[in-house]
Amino acid sequence: MALPDGLIGIGEAAAAFGLAESTLRYWEERGLLRPADRRGTWRRYGPDELHRIGLIQMWRDTGMMSLDEIAAVLAGTQRDSDWRTAVRERLAVISEQQRRLAAAKDHLEHLLTCPDDHPAEQCPYLRRWTGERMAETAAIRFADA
């Protein structure tokens, strides 16, 4: 329940997003969040702070961003840094994860449809894949030498 000044306490703010109060305190320690009002140990949050909590949670959960990356975005563009760098780097990581997940899905789907009784030993597809993998690794190793 909002207080007469429209602010809500930390417990209600945390509950609104399904978070623990300790999470909001930690985000405050990290500089990601600042209460609208603080009286002693009492923290109170208004609409702007609630919006910021929602952004942090969204970027952490759906964007899989680290708190450092989130801090960069929240700080905006400064003389020596640009938040876009953090976002570009996160997108590169997500693209690599997507590539790996697609490969994992392909391999697992093959296992389910493989006609061999012992695919780890008999499957020509898996033998070809491991041979190609070894060749790629060897080519990289010798190129670096």
Q: Span 8-62: which CATH code?
A: 1.10.1660.10
The pLDDT > 70 percentage for the chain reads 97
pLDDT at 2 over 60: no
Average pLDDT over residues 4-18: 91
Could you tell me the residue ranges of all domains in the chain?
Answer: 8-62, 66-106, 114-145
**What global pTM score does this model have?**
0.74
Cα separation, 64 vs 67, whole angstroms: 10
Q: pLDDT class for 30, splitting at 50, 70, 90?
A: very high
User: What would you report as the CA-atom Rg of the chain, rounded to the nearest whole angstrom?
Assistant: 24
